[in-house]
Chains A and B, each alone.
Chain A
Amino acid sequence: MTSANTMNSNSSRRQKTPLEHILRVALYICLLGMAAVYLMPFLVMFLTSLKDVEEIRSGTLLSLPGSLNFDAWVKAWGGACTGSSCNGIAPFFINSFQIVIPAVLISTIIGALNGYVISMWKFKGSDIFFGALLIGCFIPFQVILLPMARTLGWLGIANTTTGLVFVHVVYGVAFTTLFFRNFYQGIPSDLIKAARLDGAGFFTIFRRIILPISTPIIVVTIIWQFTQIWNDFLFGVAFSGFDTQPVTVALNNLVNTSFGGKEYNVDMAAAILAALPTLLVYVLAGKYFVRGLTAGAVKG
């Protein structure tokens, strides 16, 4: 099934030569070295969050904190000021979840249906439309802020959670459609043809045949969308109301304060906290992510 298996089973049957041993050691050094590089920024953030302000000023970036000190974390979670209220970033997590969950679900469902139509129920113009959708991915989001604001105003959902969900769905659908379309291209069409000859309709086929085999790509899409929407700042700041600001906006307020001494430890703790949900998703579901990609998202 996989290339690695085939090749390695070949080589493992033989006795390893000294050259292969050296190569193998070099391989590990290379991989671990790169891992260290990738980890560095996170490590700097984490170490800084554990130091007190004086240690940050005097020490180097990677010096270890003198003692384990989680004050900064406590403050970032529940006591730092993000405006006239000083309740940390905790209250904003709820806002973020209220935006992210519906937006991810809706854009995933729409993407699945679109992908299904484009790959299996082609109609005149559906391919052209797919191309148009793909090109749409490349509009810089800064361009659409003003016209979108006007549109949301007309729809009466300006500065509400509903409005933000709408925006995220609109600009997320291009990618979700792309993912599902590529996945469904790989499904043998005999399966569908047979079902249609049996008289199964559009939705029956989707529910009975397509959905059950879509799990890998659903996982990929959800991870992708969750990350994108959770990390969004631009839409979150421009289209939220005073009580619907997502956590990225709160984090920005916390980090970008211009007056009074900068508490880098609190900034860093807040940054890690704000990134925790996406980090968790990657750590816990990362395995399924690569599997899902293998199952077809990357074809075509």
Chain B
Amino acid sequence: MTIKASSLESKATSAQAKSFSLADLIPKLVMAPTIVVTLICMYGYMIWTAVLSMTNSRMLPSYDFVGLSQYERLFNNDRWIVALTNLGIFGGLFIFICLFLGVMLAIFLDQKIRNEGAIRTIYLYPMAISFIVTGTAWKWLLNPTNGLEKMMVDWGFESFTFDWLVNPDKVVYCLVIAAVWQASGFVMALFLAGLRGVDGDLIKAANLDGANIFTTYRRIILPSLKPVFFSAVVILSHIAIKSFDLVAALTNGGPGYSSDLPANFMYAHTFTRSQIGLGSASAMVMLGCVLAILIPYLYSELRGERHD
């Protein structure tokens, strides 16, 4: 709908362009600062990082080119492989669970709940606090000697164990728990907003057809929330890739380096270990992975929008 109109509009703009070249320039001028800054501060820096990844820069950037050997070192580095695998597990689970919880809580909250505002605020508040603040509390809660495990044992559940935080094979799930806690409320808000925006006529029609409430949600409401899924996935993957504070506050990569994520690997090597070359290479791989997944998704979504 809107797209059709705006393409008409752009035709109108080009028709007017001959007579009002100045007026036509204004939108471009308005965008110009953002374009310039984005080109320099996002793409320029990306290229700079790409260049550094092919040098043997150590403590500060240098331009002593060594070809692709930093990438070779990177993939011979056990810790990097662990970090990359963790990102896969963490990112996948985090996005999936957030979407699931978000949709579920949004649907539940949308049933004329008393005190909806208060409950909604409780779900939403973790998004307002950074992990620098909540990291310590989570560390305590998940720690077997003074957290949940101790509490359950004190309450009489003697055999209760919850030691994921200190178990190298399970610690990544602790990251998922804390990250879901932080972001799922926000996803809930997105879906709640989406649900409130669904066209009432569609539902009436479905009800007249005798569809029950579950069918209505599955067949009609959720499919119409496709754009919300899109926004949520973009925002969640943004959060997943940038999960740095989370690891820094909760585990600092431990036990060993079993809970390292690429962002932490990159930061450690670039800033504390004086391996800017290797750090840059890891940043490029990270970016490559993200783009490989995101660009097709963005493309299909933005294109799809154009057709409806």
Contact = CB atoms under 8 A, between A and B. Distances in A.
Assign chain A's interface to a size class. Answer: 35 or more
Contacts, number: 311
A193 B12 contact: yes
5 contacts: A121-B13, A147-B44, A147-B48, A233-B130, A275-B129
B190 to A, nearest CB: 5
B111 to A, nearest CB: 6
Given A133-B34, A233-B245, A290-B192, A138 B238 contact: yes
B108 A286 contact: no
Contacts of B200: 1-3, 5-6
A4 B266 CA distance: 46
Contact of A251 (B112, B124, B132, B287): B132
A293 B133 contact: no
Interface string A261-288: 0001001100110110011011100110
Interface residues of B, number: 113
B118 to A, nearest CB: 8
Given A140-B262, A271-B136, 16 more contacts: A3-B110, A3-B196, A7-B207, A35-B119, A41-B137, A121-B9, A135-B298, A137-B238, A142-B263, A143-B45, A147-B45, A186-B2, A189-B5, A279-B128, A294-B194, A297-B231
Contacts of A61: 140-141, 146-147, 150-151
A190 B2 CA distance: 10
Contacts of A248: 130, 132
A254 to B, nearest CB: 10
B89 interface: no
Interface stretch (B23-31, B158-166, B168-176): B23-31
Nearest to A113: B30
A201 B26 contact: yes
B68 interface: no
A74 to B, nearest CB: 19
Interface string A96-121: 00000000000000100110011111
A60 B238 CA distance: 36
B111 A27 contact: yes
Given A31-B113, A138-B237, A274-B133, A170 B128 contact: no
Nearest to A111: B34
A182 B266 CA distance: 33
Contact of A290 (B40, B61, B189, B242): B189
Contacts of A190: 5
